Structure 1
């Protein structure tokens, strides 16, 4: 199927061509026509499966047919859990707006930066992408109004609930008009998501892209048994020995991430950390350097990594195991995207053995285990 067959106009088709989309992803095939018809959507799909375009394109198509009537009254509201994702979604909207005859203003707002420039720049905004806390701050300052919202998108709703945003979301929903189109995307379908969608969505079309969530066949998975004291040297050895030029390393603790980056830099491996304790400016600058291939190693927490969307990221390394098997699949799913091969390496200490066994069982895939005792790490 082509994008033209989905009901999109020529300016959007041209913008899609500029982005080198060969054909629609499965979720785009199903969601775009339904959103154009005004239907509510419940989409279960992982990050990197093309879901942002699946709602951005039809929203822009619909908004070409009518104009915003009142300043500071947004027409589409996209709520996201993190600052990085807000910027990423905004970039997608802006890229698709390039050839539109009618100007549609898109803006991302989030905490961690001064609120005043955001308040000033909100004039004539049509599509607002916001984190919950900053959105409520702007509403309290009467910088934005939600009475005319036509389309509401909750993106990565599962992560918002995990982060404790349920109270903020409830406050925001109470300010929206009763008549609107609702789109809810989540990587997983939990009881909390079921509760939200039951109260939010009206006769929704449910789109579940199971293959995208669990398709890890293109990812070469290996794991190394290693003692805690050899873990850092083994990481450096693998980066050098396999000539990794762009690698995403996951840790579970911010302190571990910063210490790890310090050791990598001390050993002349260009690295930086990405986590919530950094300023927003630092996080965006670091992420941009990594995406552009100017940073060899990015050490990230699970939350901060939600804004990392690189189509052909070659390697992911689990320096520390995540809490759940689902988080493990999300992590390694950062590589092996867009039908490109990828590699996922996991470092397993003796105390991790049982947990890693559970992860493999839940994943339904046995990971090749390698011993690291015979690897010479002297001077690494």
Structure 2
């Protein structure tokens, strides 16, 4: 990825914000508004990204949505949904006012669901406001979405702060009825295999472009049907967005030794043809991390997908935490370590809200 201003290294762990909107019936009377958020112009998208401190570097679209590779991760724009994912020391939550202004004032849309998620930062002390702590992030989110049904959860091991997961969920109406089946997979990988990570460095003697990195690494084989838009950074780092129908996948790599990191995310795929264990194995084949986590958010009747299997060859599953979300969905969070680095962990889930911090909430742990 882009060079980080900190003297230590680049922060690979991303912040991810997903806002889903609903529309009024009048939108159907105006053909120019049927595309909803996709009607936003490039200058308007730039105005969303500017407060977060990132820019668009590449784009690919289809009939369903628009996909943008950013200087720090990715942006996906659907007619009624926007997903912004940023890494480094970006200020993602500062983009919310502009998103809401454009969606509500220009397009007559209203917020129906919100999800914010992230792992544990490698360099937390270098994060700027409002990302200096999860409590601060929740307070910032509640300024805009606190009137909805909102909850925030911290999931992690008190003895290992590197394996935490944070999720904020807000919804206009609490109901699981008529929910469309949808799965979002977020993988965070650290301690990448050095030979595999070397693919994502530009070679001084011969230039290696993003297309070569995609093929050499095996990223193109993870979900082969996806149309890929990729980008390489100087002197190292890599990002890609893959799209197919209404589904996408995205990869971001920080390959430097000492703080190497890679993320993989996929959403909108067919769970009957893309299964948990084979998908994870294909991703691991590309990066060979020493540790990784998988956060699966399931909506509708797709919870079985994440719980079907926890076995991954070469790794052992330390723990699994299942947490029902206020939106009617379910989060399944799994942590893994390579077989040659065994550890014992005890997972716990703590509910964090603006009014009550550190309140213990019951999470069903599946061994």
Q: Considering the TM-score relative to the shorter chain, is it more than 0.5?
A: no
- The structure in which a higher percent of residues are helix is 1
Q: Compute the TM-score of the two structures, normalised by the length of structure 1.
A: 0.33
Q: Higher Cα Rg: structure 1 or 2?
A: 1
Q: What is the TM-score of this pair, normalised by structure 2? A: 0.34
Higher normalized strand content (fraction of residues): 2
